[in-house]
Amino acid sequence: MVNFYKVVSYLRLLHETDKLPLIITDIYRIFVGKRIIEVVVFMKEGLNMEKSELNWPSEFQSALKGKCPRCRTGDMFEGPLLSLSSKKMKRVCPCCDLKFEKEPGYFYVAMYVSYVFVVAQLVTACVGTYILTKNLDSPWLYLIVAVGVTIILAPFNYRYSRIVLLYWMTPQFKFKPEWYKRCMERLG
């Protein structure tokens, strides 16, 4: 028979040294005659997380919709991507009050992200133009395509460079399920 005490203390040791992501949910002490039996109820962290994550909006979807990275509920921008009126970004999240520009000038970093987007788009547009027209004589064609693509995709680049920056390059802005819950409660 397995020595129960040894198993429990081993699990505890693993848990304390973080080698096994276990959450100890309950510890019962049962007295059997003069002996005390300790029952440790635990669950694997991963399993538990997955279950509750099902109720949260996914990271990718929230980013795509321009939701706040911390609560995934509040909108980061005033209007939708294709709106002609306001493309402005909100200063703080309307749900969890996260200040999006975490320090003055932080969005300059988004310009580098935007730069990567623009280069990728220009290369794609120019290669696409060549494949479609086989034109290598007119530099004007490529110039017009490049300028056109840059102008048309500017709102996209503005928005998504900031989203990429806040979602994947700012570790402090990690998703907090508590905030999601609180925001959903607030919205009723």
| Shortest CB 93 distance to Zn ion, Å | 3
89 interacts with Zn ion by CB under 5 A = no
Binding residue for Zn ion (CB under 5 A) from 63, 95, 165, 166? Answer: 95
Integer CA distances (angstroms), 98 to 14, 103, 111, 116, in order: 36, 12, 21, 27
- Which residue matches tokens 């991963």? 46
Binding residue for Zn ion (CB under 5 A) from 93, 110, 118, 163? Answer: 93
| Shortest CB 68 distance to Zn ion, Å | 3
Which tokens sit at 187? 């919205």
121 phi-psi bin (left φ>0, alpha ψ -120 to 50, beta other):
alpha
Q: Which stretch binds Zn ion (CB under 5 A): 8-16, 27-35, 92-100, 148-156?
A: 92-100
Number of residues lying near Zn ion (CB under 5 A): 8
Site map for Zn ion, 44-83, x if CB under 5 A?
------------------------x-xx--x---------
Residue 66: how many CB atoms within 10 A of its CB? Answer: 20
Q: SS3 of 38, please? A: strand
